[in-house]
Structure 1
Amino acid sequence: MDANLRFWRAEGQSFFQRFLLWADVLDPLLLLKSSDEIRRTRLLLQNSGKTLSEPIQNDQSSVHPDTDKIIPVLFRPPAFLPICLPLVIASSLQLQAKQTFFSQFVFHTYTTGFTLFNGNGTVKVEEYPLQQKQIFYGLGAISYAACIGALPLLFMNRYTLKSSVTQLVVKKLLPAPLLGLMSAFTVAVVRSPEFENGIEVMDRNGKVVGVSQKAGEKAVKETALSRAVLFGTTFFLPALLTYFVERAKFAKTPRALASVRMFMITSVLAGMLPVSLSMFPQCGEIKRTDLEPEILSSTEETELFYNRGI
């Protein structure tokens, strides 16, 4: 078992513990670490055997725990907020169908790439390279998600539905659940090989005891749910608060209202990111009785572990 997974298993038992750990891991300053420095730190950590007392930021935010490869800078957890924030703001403008499609296409492209680089890396696909399959699935999911995001505006403009109720539904109520659902959908699609082919499960000592489709399904479901909560909330709360600010006439000009909305989106996204990542343990647990028969016969452990991915 990777040193960071052992750390998460020992130190990330409760939601509050995980939240504090993620608050450290998401520090954007960690992106300034060079690849050589990351390799030296990881090698020192592995050789010294110190997994419960050493900081994990350099390791966890930069190195994949399954493949031991350094993650590209743009797709490391500390880069998620700085890159996603302008994409979320652009996606929330709801101006025209074409603009909405383009902004959401770019948004889903980045989040899908992030999912691809931070998912479970123990999946094996014999037909053709796994990454090629996931990229093919991801492109389809991105296009579909962007179309669904722009569809309400296209429908409204096509049939010239300009009533206040239609505007409220299309521009205020629909975007949040649609973005949340499509974010979960892209996660499920790009990581579908995990529940189709299974992921490795380990005992308490880190020994791999088998490959489980049920563990893969659990890992993907948890990650998809956390992503839906993250972006659904990030779209819903600022829209709701901005509506009340507009009704109360606290912001008297469109520019002031836009500034309030961007501040709210920034605040909610920054707060919800560690919350969503902390919803489920990074080192996932699954009961032995929930696994496949071939794994049941290979171990007596009551609980097994796996890398959930991000």
Structure 2
Amino acid sequence: MPHSTVPSALLCHFMLQSYYSGFNFVNRNASLKQEKEASLKQIVINLGAVSYATVAGALPQIIIRQFGLRTPSVLNFFRTVLPVPLAALLAYFNVTAVRSEEAENGIQVFDSEGNAVGLSKSAGEKAVRETALSRAALLGTTAAVPNLMLALLQRTRLFQRRSVLLGPLRPFSTVLILGLMVPVSFSLFPQLGTIKKERLEEELQTAAVDGHLYYNRGL
């Protein structure tokens, strides 16, 4: 939603990205949850991801203030158009940063009978990428649809005469779209993913007797 000042934008994005970071960390791949306490490296990565995404998220408002932008079309771009791809990109970035250990150390893969056969970095990269794409779809759509809806409604006679109705409509539509997109985004990729034999490490390919192995993607 559009912000009026830079401090308010920074505060809102800090709270949002902090929640993203915590959610992504708690719901990472189950094979990495054996370590109950987060490592110092992971804490630094999480703090860095939150800090970077907070500033990046507030960048449109920072640009408006820094350059004193006043043109309506320019303001509309920075307040309603630019935040849409930015929301999707930052959601993708948060997942890849917070769950980077899965790609670096690998995640547990299983055969068709459910037996663990080892850790696979390729499966970890695939799991993180799929989760990041689903989160980008969630936040990108939630940012885009309400803006598009309001832009269309502003052209109707009803809302041209009663523009005050647009105020409560924006947060209501945002909550509605977010609620509808949560199950959609979580089901874009299966929770129990598969990875083909050719994409696995050499030491794990012999275990893929069916041509692929399975992994838990995380949420």
TM bucket (normalised to shorter chain) is: over 0.9
Q: Secondary structure at the match of 1:309?
A: coil
Distance change (3 Å), C-alpha of 1:171 and 1:249: farther
Distance change (3 Å), C-alpha of 1:224 and 1:138: same
- Pairs aligned (count): 217
Q: TM-score, normalised by structure 1?
A: 0.66
The answer to whether residue 3 in structure 2 is matched with residue 94 in structure 1 is yes
2:22 alignment partner in structure 1: 113
1:137 alignment partner in structure 2: 45
Q: Secondary structure at the match of 1:214?
A: helix
1:34 alignment partner in structure 2: none
* Whole-angstrom CA distance in 1 between matches of 2:188 and 2:95: 16
Gap runs ≥5 in structure 1: 1-91
* Whole-angstrom CA distance in 1 between matches of 2:39 and 2:164: 44
Paired AA for residue 134 in structure 1: Q
Q: Where do 4+ consecutive residues of structure 1 move more than 6 Å?
A: none
* Whole-angstrom CA distance in 2 between matches of 1:261 and 1:151: 21
Q: Superposition pairs for residues 1-310 of structure 1, below 5 Å?
A: 92-123=1-32, 130-251=38-159, 252-253=161-162, 255-310=164-219
* Whole-angstrom CA distance in 2 between matches of 1:130 and 1:206: 28
Percent of pairs with identical residues? 40
Paired AA for residue 118 in structure 1: N
Higher RCO by CA contacts (8 Å cutoff, separation 6 or greater): 2
CA RMSD of aligned residues (A): 1.9
* Whole-angstrom CA distance in 2 between matches of 1:176 and 1:162: 21
Instruction: Kindly indicate whether the alpha-carbon contact (under 8 Å) linking 1:286 and 1:304 is maintained by their aligned counterparts in 2.
Output: yes
1:8-38 Cα offsets, whole Å, 9 max, x none, are xxxxxxxxxxxxxxxxxxxxxxxxxxxxxxx
* Whole-angstrom CA distance in 1 between matches of 2:34 and 2:40: 10
